[in-house]
Structure 1
């Protein structure tokens, strides 16, 4: 059984909380929802007498080639700290650090002064620097173990509320070997949400898009097996069309088309196809999603109406969602999962907007959205719908789209490394 923070004694305890506040790009917050989603856990910790220390990763500051780590304002947690201080009217402090070309080798001893202030409630909380700035976070061997012990030395209890951070790093997995560890409230809710996808009410419709097919082969194969209907978008759909109808599109790589052939074969082996054809696409004369000064046109893209060669296909045409077959699939679904932006944003948005409106017309289905871009475009393109959805029990917004896809691929949310670590180290709770 997953240990939940509601079962932990937090009174006068320092609680190290791993959150997923990876919402900063070039020093600016782009997704406040993911921060707000963790506030319930933070409120509970403070209300029950705990003292919080927060930590998150931001971006990818490590150079995979030479191992150097760039520590600068572009991947700093400071914008999140500023937002929390405005939102909660309490002070969070980021400790001073010493860095070199390989990042931050260790926590500075000056953090001990902040711990005293935390215990005496002179400050509301500590927010550690970007975990990926630390040399040990993604390292192997000694550096990893050293960093885990340093983190454990700060606190009495560890709470993981970072559903969107599924990688097995020190701040998500390694720390559980050293402290009593619990799932936060958001983590628990997200796991329930995944369970509703893995064991859905049927008919189950999934909408998945992406900029590359070959990186999503395993995920798409797994989703295809679970759903009753599958709608594809973006380059994923373009590659599928090329593979199924033996056509060519500019901008679609041979590797993507080859990867798509396996999904085509899997679908054609069924008595009835699960992949729902979107019949019309928007074609452009310009690459990279440029719209200005370019020529665009709408074309039929399925069956005998296909051309043999297409220019750059940049979006699904909105009229695709007006076809009776599509409307029937969307209106009859009981569970809908969406991880999709249909067009080349921001210039070609009409297909995504039409998708979201088609989903919204189904008033009885459980509608589950996952993915930062997916949610951001829902908010940008249909703000009224987004605000209605946030308050509706018919919608659920995951804070980590990649994590949802990973869990669907494995078939079990408890197989995710951070969740598995919480289950494997429950013995520390009773020490």
Structure 2
């Protein structure tokens, strides 16, 4: 017995009303212009497949983390961008399960597309509320999940809603299938040497992934704010740099485990330090042994960049999750951008685990050079950790092979 994920291609969709859970949580500037529409573009294959089957389609997504209904979090700009990409009108509902959404959903004709307003305007979405899920489900015949970025969350439009559809009426879209297949193959059969590059600010968010990765990789490179907890574990004086005091022991365990397994672990050898994390702070590069007291490390230095580049020389697979510094400020973005260039120039299979790292790669202009860029940061981490995602579990069935 094996299990497989029900694919959109396994369903009979002709002339059906289809609900597609998308991930349109896209970055916007202060004028609410969309600055990166990759997540919108990635749902188009699933959407076109439904339109080709003469379906009427209802799309739903969240955007940001609104506390209350606020036009700043409206999906209006997404509807406009999608309509331009498809060269086809996209209707916009004024609410999620209110009168406007219901009326528009009822009157939706085949090959018409309706986008519901931000799912998180409904308090029940993040609470996995059955009532909200039932209301959403009542609008359509078929449920498709194509939002990998939220599959690690048990939310109403991701998990609870699947209870209202049998296995002939719920499935994964093309993007979701691609993401899951890719992550599984990456972890089960990576071409070696397999190098993991892990960054970002906190060890706590990636502890489980690090523990799981250490037994699967040949080399582990640790940068970003989380590196300081590891440096502290090795007895380095890290000044005012970010530290998770309670995780020093865990960091020691990972370093020891790496040694036992023969995994080469790389930590920064120099850092860019400043007195405060601001664009106008004075910054200088120092070896990690010489971080001045009261200063904090905010980026990896040039020697670390060169060291990490050497570690990629023979890599066949590189998985990268988490920036090397505070890349949002230009001053501290150099290490992350250099890493993006160097990883993209290798001949390895290069995989980016969504979120901030995908933003770094886009900012570096390297997007097209990577083998695969995941659309979900948290979800791709949890897959690497070996967890079953709540949004994917209901889409699996047992098959006799």
Fold similarity call, TM over 0.5: yes
Matched residue, 1:331: 313
Choose the corresponding residue for 2:53, options 48, 52, 61: 48
C-alpha deviations, 1:233-289, integer Å up to 9, x for none? 211012211221241321424xx14314312233224244532132121111x312x
Residues 243 and 258, structure 1, Cα contact 8 Å, conserved in 2: no
Choose the corresponding residue for 2:323, options 336, 341, 364: 341
Q: For 1:250, what is the secondary structure of its paired residue?
A: coil
Does 1:60 pair with 2:65?
A: yes
Mark the CA change 1:23 to 1:260 in structure 2 (over 3 Å): closer, same or farther.
Answer: farther
Mark the CA change 1:223 to 1:309 in structure 2 (over 3 Å): closer, same or farther.
Answer: farther
Q: How does 1:23-422 map to 2 (within 5 A)?
A: 23-25=26-28, 27-62=32-67, 70-97=68-95, 107-119=97-109, 124-139=112-127, 144-165=129-150, 166-179=152-165, 180-199=169-188, 200-253=190-243, 256-269=244-257, 270-271=259-260, 272-284=262-274, 286-288=275-277, 290-292=278-280, 294-301=281-288, 305=289, 309=293, 311-323=295-307, 326-345=308-327, 346=329, 347-363=331-347, 365-381=348-364, 383=365, 385-387=366-368, 389=369, 395-409=371-385, 411=386, 415-422=388-395
Matched residue, 1:16: 19
Aligned mates of 2:198, 2:231 — CA distance in 1: 15
Cα deviation, residue 310, structure 1: 6.3
Structure 1, unaligned runs of 5 or more: 63-69, 98-103, 427-431
Number of matched residues?
385
Mark the CA change 1:153 to 1:291 in structure 2 (over 3 Å): closer, same or farther.
Answer: closer
Cα deviation, residue 308, structure 1: 7.8
Residues 91 and 115, structure 2, Cα contact 8 Å, conserved in 1: yes
Cα deviation, residue 319, structure 1: 2.9
Residues 242 and 249, structure 1, Cα contact 8 Å, conserved in 2: no
Aligned mates of 1:370, 1:273 — CA distance in 2: 21
Residues 20 and 60, structure 2, Cα contact 8 Å, conserved in 1: yes
Aligned mates of 1:120, 1:192 — CA distance in 2: 31
Aligned mates of 1:246, 1:240 — CA distance in 2: 9
Q: For 1:79, what is the secondary structure of its paired residue?
A: helix
Aligned mates of 1:184, 1:217 — CA distance in 2: 30
Cα deviation, residue 29, structure 1: 2.3
C-alpha deviations, 1:196-255, integer Å up to 9, x for none? 3321222111111112223332222222232211111211012211221241321424xx
Residues 21 and 61, structure 2, Cα contact 8 Å, conserved in 1: yes
Aligned mates of 2:302, 2:149 — CA distance in 1: 31
Q: For 2:350, what is the secondary structure of its paired residue?
A: strand
Mark the CA change 1:300 to 1:96 in structure 2 (over 3 Å): closer, same or farther.
Answer: closer
Mark the CA change 1:353 to 1:112 in structure 2 (over 3 Å): closer, same or farther.
Answer: closer
Mark the CA change 1:185 to 1:167 in structure 2 (over 3 Å): closer, same or farther.
Answer: same
Q: For 1:53, what is the secondary structure of its paired residue?
A: strand
C-alpha deviations, 1:20-74, integer Å up to 9, x for none? 1111456342431111111111111101211110001111224xxxxxxx10112
C-alpha deviations, 1:334-362, integer Å up to 9, x for none? 11111121122222111112212221231
Mark the CA change 1:22 to 1:327 in structure 2 (over 3 Å): closer, same or farther.
Answer: closer
Mark the CA change 1:128 to 1:80 in structure 2 (over 3 Å): closer, same or farther.
Answer: same
Residues 278 and 316, structure 1, Cα contact 8 Å, conserved in 2: yes
Cα deviation, residue 306, structure 1: 5.1
Residues 231 and 267, structure 2, Cα contact 8 Å, conserved in 1: no
Structure 2, unaligned runs of 5 or more: none
Matched residue, 1:101: none
Residues 7 and 171, structure 2, Cα contact 8 Å, conserved in 1: yes
Mark the CA change 1:237 to 1:119 in structure 2 (over 3 Å): closer, same or farther.
Answer: same
